[in-house]
Structure 1
Amino acid sequence: MTTPSHRPVFIIGCPRSGTTLLQQMLHLGPRIALPAETRIVHTAYRDRREFGDLTDPANRRALAGWITGRKDTKFAALGLDARSVAEEIVAAPPTLGSALATVFRAYARENGKPRWGDKRPSYFRMVPMLLRLFPDAQFVHLVRDGRDAASSLRQMPWYKGDIYSALLTWREAVDRGRQLAARLPPDAYHQLRYEDLAADPEAALRPLCAFLGEEYAPAMAEPHHLARRTVPAERRWHHRTLEAVDTKVVGAWQDRLRDWEVELAEHVFGPRLAELGYAPSGAGRPPSLHLTRFRQIAAVRWRRRHEQEAAERYRRLREPNPVVSLLTGPAT
């Protein structure tokens, strides 16, 4: 008999690829509690040196107050008692990963589940961080046609970029997925397509559940019942999660993108679309003006990423404690 898994699960992917839909589906399974998007993990990791030596209970208490008391961590959205969770963090092993795992374990326990996960599309850029914190993590990468994802992303009220940066984000997510598939063991990385999930949820979810070591539950294919109770009305960009799963927005890029945007998308995506099963339209080469603009943005982002990587190496040299979670095995 297979031992039930307690490995943390992280959903990643380009924004507007259906990650909220998948989060709702997995949360409806019998064992995994997967909350709506939080800002706890990456913000705490970014500021980890500020918390001092966590072998000092006073510093763990300060960290607990930082996690549970800041609005930008979205801790309140978890529906947990802040004081109780803070005491659990103080009593936990003295590492940042253990403190973070304590929060998510409390959320899982509150939902009657033994296992936890987290969802944030931009985690595709942060997998090294997540593996430092949780070396046994499993990653689920949801991919969507880049033309649909980018055209949808540009319409979001919270998105500050343009079509160039949206196309680049999709390309980066796909390339990071390729790297993860090559570097991680088969039991740590699983990729699926939004279009397959929308067309036949059960057929897409069963292999995913097998990867996670979980049983498929029919309720997972009907996440709109949960979404109607949990998705805030003001998040208009998630309104489709309130409806039964369908394929209505598959191919919406054909109405949303202008001709030159389709040309640019298919040019800069190169063979990636076809390799993922998305048929190129056969659009011609984009105007040089738009291609030049895309390359400029790509160059700026490349430099920024390498600067961030250098800064991260510097921060690691001055960490007061190991960051890895020591809370492994069955939740208690």
Structure 2
Amino acid sequence: MKTARPKKTRGIPPVIICGMHRSGTSLVARILEAAGLFIGKRKDRNSEALFFSRINDWILRRCGGSWDFPGPVRWLWRSEELRALVLDMLDGWLKHPLAIQYLGLGAWVRYGDVRALERPWGWKDPRSTLLLPLWTEVFPDAKVVYVERHGVDVARSLFVRAHREVQIQRRRYARAGWLYLLYQRYRSRGFSGSARCLDLEGGFELWEEYVLAAGRHAEALSGRFFSVPYEKFVQDPEAWLRDLCAFCGLEPGQKQIETCRRLVDGGRAHAYRHDEALVQFALEHDDRLGPYKSKP
């Protein structure tokens, strides 16, 4: 069965900002937004456009997976029938009134379809890394900005966040008791946001899955894939900023460049090196770190 393609609509192709969670995608999204890229009216604290992040989450869950359990999405790629159905549904979502979350009321009234936007635009969501084949079928000329970061730093950040969430839930349960149990009964998230990431090894394996997915998709995108190495970017942001902005079709002025530069903290590069246990973890996983392997 031939895969159905959503109806094409005039407008500028989007920039899809993706990469593994905790890899610096939020930083890059904020910088591009400051440089003039529209990334949505309603966003969460991580600069993720709620409209697109909820669609991505919906697709993963309908496949039986989630952001931290991406394996089941492979069945979507193996079924032409299912893929055609999801593409038809995406066509509907992009024209749905819920797109007001992304466009804002005025732009939705004007365009009626996200694909009709006539300004540099895009969205940031790490889940898009797993679903790029879908989004690049919806937007055949889309550009992808992929942010990569050392796997041990990513795993450590996921580990810290997951344990923090457990402690938050413990405090809430202590205060609210059975009312909190009732809330949890209808809550879609897990105990910690990700039980898998409560273990450093689990977070590292998840990083590997995202890196492998990005590598497969990058081959098909040729010149429309811009990789941003987090460590190099934060240590010398201005050297990367102009090329990144040019790739995204942006022409920021000097004032915007200065604003972008102030968002960067170079001290966060290779943070794992300040922890002996993490340095040892990195050495034990050196053969799985790809471009981040130790130099001989």
The normalised TM-score by structure 2 is: 0.62
Counterpart check, 1:117 vs 2:119: no
Q: Structure 2: how far apart are the matches of 1:163 and 1:115?
A: 38
Q: Structure 2: how far apart are the matches of 1:201 and 1:54?
A: 35
Which residue is 1:101 aligned to? 115
Go from structure 1 to structure 2 and tell me whether the alpha carbon gap of 1:150 and 1:176 turns closer, same or farther (over 3 Å shift).
same
Task: Give, in angstroms, the shift of residue 21 of structure 1.
Answer: 0.9
The SS at the match of 1:214 is coil
Q: Structure 2: how far apart are the matches of 1:64 and 1:50?
A: 15
| Match 1:169 to one of 184, 187, 206 | 206
* Contact residue 99 and residue 108 of structure 2 kept, 8 A: no
Counterpart mapping for 1:249-260 below 5 A: 249-256=268-275, 258=277
Task: Give, in angstroms, the shift of residue 134 of structure 1.
Answer: 0.8
Go from structure 1 to structure 2 and tell me whether the alpha carbon gap of 1:217 and 1:180 turns closer, same or farther (over 3 Å shift).
farther
AA of the residue aligned to 1:258: A
AA of the residue aligned to 1:141: Y
Which residue is 1:81 aligned to? 105
Which residue is 1:205 aligned to? 241
Which residue is 2:31 aligned to? 25
Per-residue deviation, residues 211-270 of structure 1 (Å, max 9, x unmatched): 23432433245248xxxxxxxxxxxxxxxxxx742211222213457255334432433x
Which residue is 1:145 aligned to? 150
Percent identity reads 23
AA of the residue aligned to 1:214: L
Which residue is 1:41 aligned to? 52
Higher helix share: 2
Aligned residues: 221
Per-residue deviation, residues 276-313 of structure 1 (Å, max 9, x unmatched): xxx36x8xxxxxxxxxxxxxxxxxxxxxxxxxxxxxxx
The normalised TM-score by structure 1 is: 0.56
Q: Structure 2: how far apart are the matches of 1:200 and 1:15?
A: 22
Go from structure 1 to structure 2 and tell me whether the alpha carbon gap of 1:175 and 1:217 turns closer, same or farther (over 3 Å shift).
farther
The SS at the match of 1:34 is coil
Which residue is 2:185 aligned to? none
Task: Give, in angstroms, the shift of residue 120 of structure 1.
Answer: 0.6
Q: Structure 1: how far apart are the matches of 2:52 and 2:109?
A: 16
Give unmatched runs, 5+ long, in structure 2.
1-10, 41-46, 63-83, 166-192
The SS at the match of 2:251 is coil
Q: Structure 1: how far apart are the matches of 2:213 and 2:259?
A: 30
Counterpart check, 1:135 vs 2:167: no
Give unmatched runs, 5+ long, in structure 1.
69-74, 90-98, 106-112, 225-242, 283-332
AA of the residue aligned to 2:157: S
Task: Give, in angstroms, the shift of residue 114 of structure 1.
Answer: 1.5
AA of the residue aligned to 1:80: G
Per-residue deviation, residues 191-221 of structure 1 (Å, max 9, x unmatched): 1211222112110112222323432433245
The SS at the match of 2:267 is coil
Moved over 6 A (4+): 50-55
Task: Give, in angstroms, the shift of residue 163 of structure 1.
Answer: 1.6
> What RMSD, in angstroms, separates the aligned Cα atoms of the two structures?
3.7
AA of the residue aligned to 1:140: V
Which residue is 1:265 aligned to? 285
Go from structure 1 to structure 2 and tell me whether the alpha carbon gap of 1:118 and 1:51 turns closer, same or farther (over 3 Å shift).
closer
